[in-house]
């Protein structure tokens, strides 16, 4: 691993926001599936248009074509949800995760206000959205935690109606751990569909899938593109894509722990771990540790972690902790881990990140499950302008204007002056009609 310093480090951690990178494997899969070299966006547009036009039939066709199964029913039945079982430790862990995420979001200040004065009242009503779609990606394992970390903030916000979409397994089932989590959450609407076709169904609605007001949750490249394209028809909470972690460590950090945290990131297929340290000795020690721990991982995690480490991991030597934090803010990572002598003292300097993991006992891996805050956080540098999933994402604000005759006399003429300056005579007259 090459150690970057100074200008080279700044250049390496400066992101371009102009393109979502498309891995070659994705292009190859498109060529295989469609027989032509379409862009991922062209594929997604085709899927969105088709589901919008043909509804459930299109949803089933694309599920068959892309996920290799044509489910007998798109909706999971209440009996299936009821019957699902997992072993006791996992069941207890699911309950603990739900409890901790709920407890965290119940602490978020998310109220409106209505301030009465001599002028009347002005304020903001805060209202939960009516219906929210939660996307739970598929893949090799059930992403139980993604369901919990997306649905719970929506429930805390007061959303009455949550629809979960997740790709079915090859036999058409949804993994029992997902069903158990849904049951524990009181969620009864689950749709066996994933990818862009699921986003289309949630945005436009089909006979089996009700159209939702907002779609939340992470996904692969096609899901992210689909969310971008339906934005405006439907609300989108953010565009979380491939996960990423930036660790800031000084000479007090334990190389074993730093390496473990980097590998926890690296084992995601395609991940991009970043280590920024003020200590050259630590960088050397971590590299040795990463090598050793890597070899001890089972497959396929070992291969993915090795690929992440060899192909994409960035290692930076910073002049001091100020430069380290500046680099972190420049990169705007999904996860920022502070493994330094006095990590709390750095918090005030953090301006761009999804989540900050402060100190030795707050490893990001814990945040993925039971720490409390949602693990659905902005990636790809979008932490410049997006936030982790939170209660605000599932609420609307409604402004309230309730003035009286007395304040109208004071401010009405200025309002009419501005209206006329903007050429809006009927606006001026509507104000003057009450003066």
Contacts with 29 (C-beta within 8 Å, 6 or more apart), sequence order = none
Q: Determine if 183 is a binding residue for a second copy (CB under 8 A).
A: no
* Residue 335 annotated among the catalytic residues of the structure: yes
Of 190, 93, 91, nearest to 134 (Cα)?
190
Q: Which listed residue (244, 335, 364, 375) is catalytic?
A: 335
Burial annotation 296-331 (CB, 10 A radius, 16+ → b, else e):
ebeeebbebbbebbeeebbbbbbeebebbbbbbbbb
Q: Is 220 annotated as a binding residue?
A: yes
Catalytic residue among 244, 323, 334, 364: 334
Report the alpha-carbon distance of residue 305 to residue 41 in Å, rounded.
28
Which stretch in 4-12, 65-73, 76-84, 420-428 sits in contact with a second copy by CB under 8 A? Answer: 420-428
93 binds a second copy per the rule CB under 8 A = yes
Q: Check binding of 34 to a second copy (CB under 8 A).
A: no
Residue 146 has, within 13 A of its CA and on its CB side, a CA count of 22
For residue 111, indicate whether it is catalytic: no
Can you point out the beta strands (E) in 344-431?
355-358, 395-403
Run of H or E including 152: helix 144-157
Contact predicate 125/400, CB 8 Å: yes
Q: Report 128-157 residues binding a second copy (CB under 8 A).
A: 129-130, 140-145
Residue window 247-286: x/- pattern of binding to a second copy, with contact defined by CB under 8 A: ---------xx--xx-xx-xxx------------------
Binding to a second copy, residues 188-227 (CB under 8 A): 204, 211, 213-214, 224
265 known ligand binder: yes
Binding mask 320-359 for a second copy (x = CB under 8 A): -----------------------xx--x--xxxxxxxxxx
Range 380-419, binding a second copy (CB under 8 A): 382-388, 390, 392, 396-405, 407-408, 411-412, 414-415, 417-419
Of residues 178 and 276, the one with the C-beta less far from a second copy: 178
Strands (E), 244-342: 244-249, 272-277, 314-317, 335-339
User: Judged by CB under 8 A, which of 61, 208, 297, 307 binds a second copy?
Assistant: 297
Please, is 45 exposed, middle or buried when counting C-beta atoms within 10 Å of its C-beta (0-12, 13-18, 19+)? middle
Residues labelled catalytic: 334-335
In the annotated binding site, the residues are 135, 197, 220, 243, 265, 268, 335, 368, 422, 427
């Amino acid at each position: 691993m090459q150690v970057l310093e100074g200008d080279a480090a700044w250049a390496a951690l400066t992101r371009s926001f102009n393109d979502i990178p498309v891995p070659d494997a994705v292009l190859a899969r498109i060529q295989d599936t469609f027989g032509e070299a379409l862009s991922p966006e062209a594929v997604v547009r085709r899927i969105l248009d088709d589901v919008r036009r043909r509804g459930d039939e299109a949803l089933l066709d694309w599920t068959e074509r892309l996920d290799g199964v044509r489910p007998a029913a798109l909706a999971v039945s209440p009996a299936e949800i009821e019957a699902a079982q997992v072993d006791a430790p996992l069941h207890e862990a699911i309950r603990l995760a739900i409890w901790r995420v709920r407890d965290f979001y119940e602490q978020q200040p998310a109220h409106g206000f209505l301030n009465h004065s001599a002028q009347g009242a002005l304020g903001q009503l805060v209202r939960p959205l009516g219906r929210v779609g939660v996307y739970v990606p598929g893949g090799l394992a059930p992403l139980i935690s993604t369901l919990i970390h997306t649905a719970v903030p929506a429930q805390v916000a007061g959303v009455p109606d949550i629809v979960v979409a997740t790709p079915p397994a090859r036999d058409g089932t949804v993994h029992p751990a997902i069903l158990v989590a849904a049951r524990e959450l009181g969620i009864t609407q689950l749709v066996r569909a994933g990818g862009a076709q699921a986003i289309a169904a949630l945005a436009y609605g089909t006979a089996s899938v009700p159209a939702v007001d907002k779609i939340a949750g992470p996904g692969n490249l096609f899901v992210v593109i689909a969310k971008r394209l339906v934005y405006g028809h439907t609300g989108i909470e953010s565009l979380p894509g491939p996960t990423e972690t930036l660790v800031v460590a000084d000479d007090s950090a334990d190389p074993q722990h730093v390496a473990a945290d980097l590998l926890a990131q690296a084992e995601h297929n395609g991940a991009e771990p970043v280590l920024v340290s003020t200590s050259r000795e630590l960088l050397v020690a971590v590299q040795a540790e990463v090598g050793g721990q890597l070899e001890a991982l089972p497959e396929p995690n070992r291969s993915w972690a090795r690929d992440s480490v060899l192909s994409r991991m960035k290692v930076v030597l910073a002049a001091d902790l100020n430069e380290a934090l500046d680099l972190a803010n420049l990169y705007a990572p999904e996860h920022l881990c502070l493994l330094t002598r006095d990590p709390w003292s750095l918090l005030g300097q953090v301006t761009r990140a999804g989540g900050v993991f402060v100190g030795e006992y707050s490893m990001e891996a814990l945040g993925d499950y039971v720490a409390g805050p949602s693990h659905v956080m902005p990636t790809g540098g979008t932490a410049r302008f997006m936030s982790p999933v939170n209660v605000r994402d599932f609420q609307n604000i409604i402004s309230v204007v309730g003035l009286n005759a007395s304040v109208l006399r004071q401010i009405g003429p200025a309002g009419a002056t501005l209206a006329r300056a903007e050429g809006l005579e009927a606006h001026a007259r509507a104000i003057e009609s009450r003066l």
